[in-house]
Structure 1
Amino acid sequence: MTALEHDVDIDGYVDADRARWVREGSKSRERTPFERDRARIVHSSALRRLGAKTQVLGPSSDDFVRTRLTHTLEVAQVGREIGKALGCDPDVVDTACLAHDLGHPPFGHNGERALAELARGIGGFEGNAQTLRLLTRLEPKVVDAQGRSVGLNLTRASLDASVKYPWRHLQGPVSAASGRPTHKFGVYEDDLPVFTWLRQDAPEGRKCLEAQVMDLADDISYSVHDVEDAVVGGRLDLSVLSSRTERDRVIDAIGTWYGDAVGPDGLDEAMSRLVASRLWAPGFDGSRGALALLKDATSQLIGRFAKASQRATRAEYGDGPLTRYAANLVVPSETLAEILVLKGLAVAYVMAPRELEPLYHAQREMLRDLVEVLSERAPTALEPPFAADWREAADDAARLRVVVDQVASLTDVSAAALHARLVHPRRG
């Protein structure tokens, strides 16, 4: 079933890395297979929809706040530069970064939590597993000999690079604190055939280097930019890091949301380093001068984290191109701690307080309503591609998965509109 597109020479990559799940006709040699992968993501409807999906604050909250799309573009820029510096093919990393959030549902992690509860009996819901499903099934580009969609039909290297959690539900690493496997996972049971194919010869449970770069770029981007959004939105004054009480609040938030990968002393030392770096000026007043200083601080933080990891990886593995499973990305413990501090600031002053807002609960209720009413009215109420999937589904579990696929594909805006059209009249 697999096939090679053509034998373009790409340092560090072999023919199997350029293979596609389904054979395609001959292509122009003007672009590499990996350049073509990136183009397929850029032109996908799933990428466009990210423009109306929540990152941390809803897209309609103001004109400055980041959406999933703007976040994705920033991740791609950071990841491409890190990958290029290490010798990865930049287009493989770029493709993985552009794809990394495609499977996220409306309303960000709030929506993900709601769908995970609704899908508990059919193998759960996870944005990263949904990304793989979208890339290999739901986003139409290529069909197989039987006429079934195989999604964008990306190369093995690009697909593998997009898999942040290369394991099945409840098969991932076990937390030392809880003794339970992580709730994160990268593949649903009915997508195992293509997952097995893309993971050919990969060490079990290990991410390829390009996926590790994508993951770090994601962490860097949202930790830095969520703090920037919070400052501009008036939700955070960075002078809080000068207060012992507020530092403890941030440390507690990190422990609750992100675990104990770095202890309190390490986090406190990271805060002191960030304060000593004088990257930002206190008393943000919204002026152009203040905005410029804040933007310069975000740029320096991104460079600080990226370069530290590049230097540490090169120190471990030397010069020359590093690709796929030839190396692991080395992130210094101090860098990890500083990234966690920024994540903790966003949690303590934006994300945790947001969970108490009535809107936050209303969003989850909206998705629950949509799954219920679409299940009742399927296939008529489903969009044509999902209606076809529903008719072909073998049992109730498979039909529920189709409904969840439909709801996950919606944007914040289209979910609210569909809810108003289908649910409110029923209640009236």
Structure 2
Amino acid sequence: MPAQPQRLIGGYDAADTDRWLAEPGKSAARTPFERDRARVVHSSALRRLGAKTQVLGPGTDDFARTRLTHSLEVAQVGRELGKSLGCDPDVVDTACLAHDLGHPPFGHNGEVALAQVAAGIGGFEGNAQTLRLLTRLEPKVFTPDGVGVGLNLTRASLDAATKYPWSAADAPPRADGTPSGKFGVYVDDAPVFAWLREGAPDGVRCIESQVMDLADDISYSVHDVEDAVFSGRVDLRRVAEDEARERIIAQIRDWYAPALSDEVLVTAMDELSALDYWVHRYDGTRRGLAALKDMTSQLIGRFCDSSARATRATYGDGPLIRYDGNLIVPDHVLAEITVLKGVAAAFVMAPREDDPVFRRQRLILTDLVAVLYDRAELALAEIFAEDWSEATDDDIRLRVVIDQVASLTDLSALQWHAQLCGPDAGTEI
């Protein structure tokens, strides 16, 4: 019988705390997982999220969330949920803080533009870009011969941050059979991906990653609605109206395509709007804002508590880490989260898809890729110019340019575009 791995930190073993590049001599005052979290907190990539779009762009108002504030909220939700299940809270916290690091300027809109530009070299996906940043691009640790290995996080933290543990070629379809388009690794990052997935079942996420994913879903579904109500874009009384419900369900079908019937979605709307703390009317007063924030808090608790209870009912009270079990999310929780996503999508995100501002944003990123590719040696930031000089073919060079553009914030993308393409470029729609 093979020897069992030695358990070290809260049930995690030595393989879980391994790093791609060994770092001997580190102080034992912090655990490896505490060190992982600190590296993400101090990363330049995390700071840049403060100027990247979540749903409403930075500067839209003083209330709307950015990618950074969203990530901080995901980390708080995920840390508490993971801790209640026995996961190391720093592993979950690290994964939650890191989960959006690879997203480009202009939110989902920017991701669409870069995916089109990168279609011939394996595409662009924010989650795959996150892995690339954590293991290659973020300047922190280098091999003796000068190769960057990013933040050099532990295997457990990297695996937890991998929301989609497969390549584009291996991506499973959605529940309705359509392609998901979601993947977690580019072909040229396959070696480190294979390392971090050693011992993991193919295509299965560790429970810490599942907690991160649910915390993300909960946070953006609840907080996007909160931002939309505060800004006056959504009146939650409309969730009880037949016309609005049809619009929400149609949007869910178009964007999220879950295997949920109309009956299930309508029931979820009924249950949400019947909650004592549901804000049927927001008046903009301090008391009104307090009620809106209370609704947010209560919904987060509702979804987390239901999922924790369901998971414990399946697996018992012992600690759950890595591949000891799966997070059980009750059907009614999935339905209610999906409805909240549908509300924000139907009344905020979908209507702006053809707005000239959002078409211009996509054109700006497309322009930037083209001009930076043509003028790379002069225009790329020095750290990316070094990657360009070491590239051995055109596909690698294009990936370097996309790495550069993806790293920009909303504001710096606009500034670079004005400087490199002219202030009036990108206005032809």
Q: Within 2, Cα distance between the matches of 1:25 and 1:174?
A: 42
Code of the aligned partner of 1:251: I
Would the alpha carbon gap of residues 176 and 293 (structure 1) be closer, same or farther in structure 2, given more than 3 Å must change?
closer
Q: Counterpart in 1 of 2:26?
A: 27
Q: Counterpart in 2 of 1:288?
A: 286
Q: Counterpart in 1 of 2:3?
A: none
Q: Within 2, Cα distance between the matches of 1:382 and 1:197?
A: 31
Would the alpha carbon gap of residues 176 and 283 (structure 1) be closer, same or farther in structure 2, given more than 3 Å must change?
closer
Q: Within 2, Cα distance between the matches of 1:300 and 1:77?
A: 15
Q: Within 1, Cα distance between the matches of 2:142 and 2:150?
A: 7
Deviations for 1:142-190, whole angstroms, at most 9, x for unmatched residues? 001221000000000000000000000131112353x444210000000
Q: Within 1, Cα distance between the matches of 2:26 and 2:377?
A: 38
The alignment partner of 2:203 has SS state of coil
Q: Within 2, Cα distance between the matches of 1:143 and 1:359?
A: 41
In the TM superposition, 1:391-406 aligns within 5 A as: 391-406=389-404
Deviations for 1:226-258, whole angstroms, at most 9, x for unmatched residues? 000000000000001111111111111111110
Code of the aligned partner of 1:33: P
Deviations for 1:273-316, whole angstroms, at most 9, x for unmatched residues? 11111222322111001000000000000000000000000000
Q: Counterpart in 2 of 1:103?
A: 102
Q: Counterpart in 1 of 2:60?
A: 61
The alignment partner of 2:377 has SS state of coil
- Indicate yes or no: 2:418 matched with 1:420: yes
Q: Counterpart in 2 of 1:87?
A: 86
Code of the aligned partner of 2:297: S
The answer to whether the 8 Å contact 2:73/2:219 transfers is: yes
The answer to whether the 8 Å contact 2:175/2:259 transfers is: no
Q: Within 2, Cα distance between the matches of 1:281 and 1:164?
A: 32
Code of the aligned partner of 1:198: L
Tell me the TM-score normalised to structure 2 length.
0.96
Moved more, 376-385 or 128-137: 376-385
- Indicate yes or no: 2:187 matched with 1:198: no
**How far is 1:427 from its partner?**
6.1
Code of the aligned partner of 1:138: L
Q: Counterpart in 2 of 1:50?
A: 49
- Indicate yes or no: 2:352 matched with 1:359: no
Q: Within 1, Cα distance between the matches of 2:165 and 2:379?
A: 34
Q: Within 2, Cα distance between the matches of 1:257 and 1:11?
A: 39
Q: Within 2, Cα distance between the matches of 1:271 and 1:426?
A: 45
| 5+ residue gaps, structure 2 | 1-5
Code of the aligned partner of 1:131: T
Moved more, 356-365 or 69-78: 356-365
In the TM superposition, 1:160-171 aligns within 5 A as: 160-171=159-170
In the TM superposition, 1:337-348 aligns within 5 A as: 337-348=335-346
Q: 2:300 aligns with which of 299, 302, 320?
A: 302
Q: Within 2, Cα distance between the matches of 1:165 and 1:422?
A: 35
Deviations for 1:333-378, whole angstroms, at most 9, x for unmatched residues? 0000000010000001000111121100000000001001000001
The alignment partner of 2:100 has SS state of coil
Q: Counterpart in 1 of 2:124?
A: 125
Q: Within 2, Cα distance between the matches of 1:383 and 1:84?
A: 40
The alignment partner of 1:195 has SS state of helix
The alignment partner of 1:379 has SS state of helix
**How far is 1:262 from its partner?**
1.5
Moved more, 276-285 or 76-85: 276-285
- Indicate yes or no: 2:172 matched with 1:173: yes
Q: 1:235 aligns with which of 208, 214, 233?
A: 233
- Indicate yes or no: 2:120 matched with 1:113: no
The alignment partner of 2:208 has SS state of helix
Would the alpha carbon gap of residues 311 and 427 (structure 1) be closer, same or farther in structure 2, given more than 3 Å must change?
closer
| 5+ residue gaps, structure 1 | 1-6
The answer to whether the 8 Å contact 1:72/1:101 transfers is: yes
The alignment partner of 1:342 has SS state of helix
The alignment partner of 2:181 has SS state of coil
Percent identity of the aligned residues? 66
Q: Within 1, Cα distance between the matches of 2:384 and 2:114?
A: 17
Would the alpha carbon gap of residues 138 and 376 (structure 1) be closer, same or farther in structure 2, given more than 3 Å must change?
same
Q: Within 2, Cα distance between the matches of 1:192 and 1:426?
A: 41
Q: Within 2, Cα distance between the matches of 1:38 and 1:145?
A: 24
Q: 2:212 aligns with which of 192, 211, 214?
A: 214
Aligned-pair Cα RMSD in Å:
1.4
The answer to whether the 8 Å contact 1:72/1:97 transfers is: yes
The answer to whether the 8 Å contact 1:170/1:183 transfers is: no
- Indicate yes or no: 2:152 matched with 1:153: yes
Q: Within 2, Cα distance between the matches of 1:147 and 1:283?
A: 59
Code of the aligned partner of 1:164: K
Q: Within 2, Cα distance between the matches of 1:175 and 1:24?
A: 40
Would the alpha carbon gap of residues 180 and 242 (structure 1) be closer, same or farther in structure 2, given more than 3 Å must change?
closer
In the TM superposition, 1:253-272 aligns within 5 A as: 253-272=251-270
Q: Within 1, Cα distance between the matches of 2:234 and 2:311?
A: 34
**How far is 1:11 from its partner?**
1.6
Q: Within 1, Cα distance between the matches of 2:174 and 2:99?
A: 23
The answer to whether the 8 Å contact 1:386/1:406 transfers is: yes
Q: Within 1, Cα distance between the matches of 2:152 and 2:409?
A: 24
The answer to whether the 8 Å contact 1:250/1:344 transfers is: yes
Q: 1:187 aligns with which of 185, 189, 199?
A: 185
Would the alpha carbon gap of residues 329 and 230 (structure 1) be closer, same or farther in structure 2, given more than 3 Å must change?
same
The alignment partner of 1:234 has SS state of coil
The answer to whether the 8 Å contact 2:373/2:401 transfers is: yes
Q: Counterpart in 2 of 1:4?
A: none
